[in-house]
Structure 1
Amino acid sequence: MPDPALRLPRSRPQRRFQNLRTITALILREMASTYGRSPGGYVWAVLEPLGMILILSFAFSLLLRSPSLGTHFILFYATGYLPFRMFREVQAAIAGALRYSRGLLVYPAVSYLDALIARFLLATLTQLMVACLILAGAILLLDVRLVLDIPPILAAFAGAAALGFGAGALNCLLFEMYPVWKSVWNIVTRPLLIVSAVIYIFEDLPRAAQAILWFNPLAHLTGLARSGFYSYYEPAYVSLSYVAALALTATVFGLLLLRRYYRRLMVL
């Protein structure tokens, strides 16, 4: 039997390749369990947000002559709702990562970080695909003449994904340690659709409401996304540095707490 002292440690490229294989396997497992068991699979990932956008468009078209920007309700609500949905879906995916992969985390080859990265990549890529399909379909079917500004659109979706990762990393720990927090979170975040400048624009509100709404990072992201579709819209209130600071702070604290306590969570 070879002496353990003579065994060479794995090189850094080998460890990285093993991590990549682990993350890929977790993504494939997630795809099979999330989208492979229900009829339609990825079709429902597109139909659900599309249905929400159509409902918002129909409801507000009965009350208003035109949206706050442009003339098409569907495009207006799509540009606000899809970045919001990116945050919501990524946050939910990351928050449930430990519970979903609990059975695999007992193996040395699988770490909690692999589970987080796998769910983050799948959720982000899925929401980007859905956003591209819905927005491209809306522009083509409505025959809208737009001058797209791609950088702010990508920055808005990237910010939503980063914010979702940070909030999800914190909730991943809190949901397991304090189950009641999941109910509290669901109650607290239920009005987010209303207070995130999805169904209106920031400038429509009175100054007092703007002063409060400014602290909601999602309002910055929806405004930034719309500035990429409506060339004449310049949301002066948007602060990407504020959004980045919140996302980074939540991510750092979430990962530090997970590193400290995740083994204890495995036995709860």
Structure 2
Amino acid sequence: MARSGFEVQQAAVKALFLREIRTRFGKYRLGYFWAILEPAAHLLVLLAIFGFIMHRTMPDISFPVFLLNGIIPYFIFSNISNRSVGAIEANQGLFNYRPVKPIDTIISRAILEALIYVTVYILLMAIVWLSGEYFELSNLIQLILTWSLLIFFSCGIGLIFMVVGKTIPETQKFLPIILKPLYLISCIMFPLHSIPKEYWPYLLWNPIVHAVELSREAVMPGYVSEGVSIEYLAFTTLLMLFVGLACYKTREKAMLTT
């Protein structure tokens, strides 16, 4: 019996996912455990460096919980977007098989990054809880919805980056660089309410701010971030997905023949 288009794509994404995780982590002695250990170690170093300082400036907030719910959403967005730039070149030989499409590489990489950072998030939040830091998962639905929208938003940006990077190869060098300033203006290290309100319009155009602050609201009782909106995050997600898919559709054949 012939398989449906969805079943064919599902098989292609699964194969690409397995290839990606083996390529990235299979060569290390710790094997696939390194997929979790690497980002977890990065985050633990940041907590150690900034924890004491930020605890003094935000005494009423658990800084480890605050930081984890800011930096992990940012890493999800950054890694999915950046790894999309060279996705075609990294899997060029596989496109000789008709079922494998460039968009499948974005989906497989997005799934891998999401799984890695969700696992790291659960692990580190458990460590934080065991160390005595207080948090309460008061709105699990909001947390899941926020992260889901963030992942789809990142895929939209990733599609745009992939098309632009393949069409104009020179841009592959600086496309990831343009995301770096977002680390400083996405409320990763500071709460939105610490910024004077007259500057909010310049920050709130950034969907990452909404994702970060909504994540904190979901796990930190009493943390309310005025001005953020899950509706805005949903709108920008749909917009980026539409733009990304439109770019991909118009350039799909050209990307495979160049």
Same fold per TM (> 0.5)?
yes
| Larger helix fraction of residues | 2
Classify 1:251/1:144 alpha carbon distance in 2 versus 1 (closer, same or farther; 3 Å).
same
Query: What's the CA shift for 1:156?
Result: 2.4
Percent identity over the alignment is 22
Classify 1:69/1:117 alpha carbon distance in 2 versus 1 (closer, same or farther; 3 Å).
farther
Query: What's the CA shift for 1:67?
Result: 5.3
- Superposed, 1:188-203 pairs within 5 Å as 188-203=178-193
Amino acid at match of 2:246: L
Query: What's the CA shift for 1:154?
Result: 1.2
- Superposed, 1:82-231 pairs within 5 Å as 82-144=72-134, 146-231=136-221
Matched position secondary structure for 1:233: coil
Count the aligned residue pairs: 258
Contact conserved, 2:87 with 2:162, CA < 8 A, in 1?
yes
Matched position secondary structure for 1:108: coil
Structure 1: 5+ residue stretches without partners: 1-9
TM-score, normalisation: structure 2: 0.89
After superposition, give the CA deviation of every residue in 1:203-231 in whole Å (9 maximum; x if it has no partner): 00112322211111101111000001111
After superposition, give the CA deviation of every residue in 1:57-95 in whole Å (9 maximum; x if it has no partner): 333345444353744332221111111111112222333
Residue in 1 that maps onto 2:19: 29
The answer to which of 199-208 and 44-53 deviates more is 44-53
Contact conserved, 2:78 with 2:179, CA < 8 A, in 1?
no
Residue in 2 that maps onto 1:66: 56
Whichever of the two has the greater Rg, that structure is: 1
Classify 1:131/1:64 alpha carbon distance in 2 versus 1 (closer, same or farther; 3 Å).
closer
Query: What's the CA shift for 1:167?
Result: 0.5
After superposition, give the CA deviation of every residue in 1:132-176 in whole Å (9 maximum; x if it has no partner): 112222222335353532122212211221111010000000111
Classify 1:109/1:147 alpha carbon distance in 2 versus 1 (closer, same or farther; 3 Å).
closer
Amino acid at match of 1:174: V
Structure 2: 5+ residue stretches without partners: none
TM-score, normalisation: structure 1: 0.86
